[in-house]
Amino acid sequence: MLEVRNLTKRYGDIVAVRDVSFSAAQGQILGFLGPNGAGKTTTMRILTGFLPATSGTAKVAGFDVFTESAEVRRRIGYLPESPPLYGEMTTESYLRFVARIKGMPKAAIEDAIERVVKLCGLEAVHDRLLGHLSKGFRQRVGLAQALIHDPPVLVLDEPTIGLDPRQIIEIRSLIGRLAGQRTVILSTHILPEVSQICEKVVIINEGRVVLEQDMAALTRGQSLEDIFLHAIAKESPEAAGVSSEQQG
């Protein structure tokens, strides 16, 4: 469903992402972990067609991110790190706008709005201005926006950042409910989140993949915290070697 091969992204002299490869099967929730500045956001931006890669390829739902960008963008729902909201719009008019620019047929739009409003628990704020919403609601509207056109692939960049514990649990259970139908890539710092909802983990450090493994195989005996700290503490080249052995 999603395949990333040898992706590299340079900003001038700085290498943000270095030879990154990983994949996710259909219906899988993939946890994308790494310290701040590891290259998570850059990788996600490349996958969504926002940024080009310097080299390497990525395929989403069988389409190449670079040569068939429009097809990929049609099939992807993306929640960037800060939800892309227009403060002067109401929740409903915003969702209608997003549905239109995602190319949904007119007849399907109102039903889709109703569906995501219910799914994300936005009934109480459906006619409020987005600029007046609390952080938790803003995040949920961001998620609704990513889901409106029912995409087979969801890319969520730190969806639970800055939320209070109750909101985190809500968003997390919402993402959990999406499982089975969609492929989800979820970047986060919160490790328990990953052990709870993800089926696969990719750890990235200093632009390199240091670990890619199924959750079930991973957590036998060790806690995810230990695995994470161990993975990012290693010298990068060795770590890359280890991870490819583990995959092999």
Partner 1 sequence: MRNVLTIAGRELRSYFVSPIAYVVLTGFLLLGGWFFFNLLARFNLLLTIYSAQQNPQILQRLNLNEFVIAPLLHNLSVVLVILVPVITMRTLAEEKKAGTYELLLTSPLRISEIVLGKFLGSFVFVAIMVALSGVYPLILFAYGNPETGVVLAGYLGLLLLATSFVAVGILTSSFTENQIIAAVSCLVSLLLLYIIAWPADNAGETIGALLRYVSLTEHFAQMVKGVIDSKDLVYFTTVIVLALFLAHRSVESIRWR
Number of Cβ within a 10 Å radius of residue 205: 22
Burial profile 164-188: b = 16 or more Cβ within 10 angstroms, e = fewer: eeebbebbbebbeebeeebbbbbbb
In order, the DSSP letters of 44-72 are: HHHHTTSS--SEEEEEETTEETTTTHHHH
Round the CA-based radius of gyration of the chain to a whole number and report it. 18
For partner 1, the closer of residues 138 and 172 by Cβ is: 138
Residue 86 as a binder of partner 1 (CB under 8 A): the answer is: yes
**Binding segment (CB under 8 A) for partner 1, from list 16-24, 26-34, 44-52, 211-219:** 44-52
Q: Is 121 helix (H, G, I), strand (E, B) or coil?
A: coil
x/- letters, 91..120, toward partner 1 (CB under 8 A): ------xx-xxxx-----------------
Q: Is 34 helix (H, G, I), strand (E, B) or coil?
A: coil
**Binding segment (CB under 8 A) for partner 1, from list 13-21, 50-58, 108-116, 213-221:** 50-58
**Binding segment (CB under 8 A) for partner 1, from list 80-88, 108-116, 178-186, 219-227:** 80-88
For partner 1, the closer of residues 126 and 234 by Cβ is: 126
Residues 144-173 contacting partner 1, CB under 8 A: 145
For partner 1, the closer of residues 78 and 137 by Cβ is: 78
Number of residues near partner 1 (by CB under 8 A): 29
Residue 58 as a binder of partner 1 (CB under 8 A): the answer is: no
How many Å apart are CA 53 and CA 65, to the nearest integer? 10
Place of tokens 């259909």: 26
Report CA dihedral (94, 70, 20, 232) to the nearest 10 degrees: 0
Distance in Å, CB of 10 to partner 1, minimum: 11
Which residues make up the interface to partner 1 (CB under 8 A)?
A: 45, 48-52, 70-71, 73-74, 76, 78, 80-89, 97-98, 100-103, 145
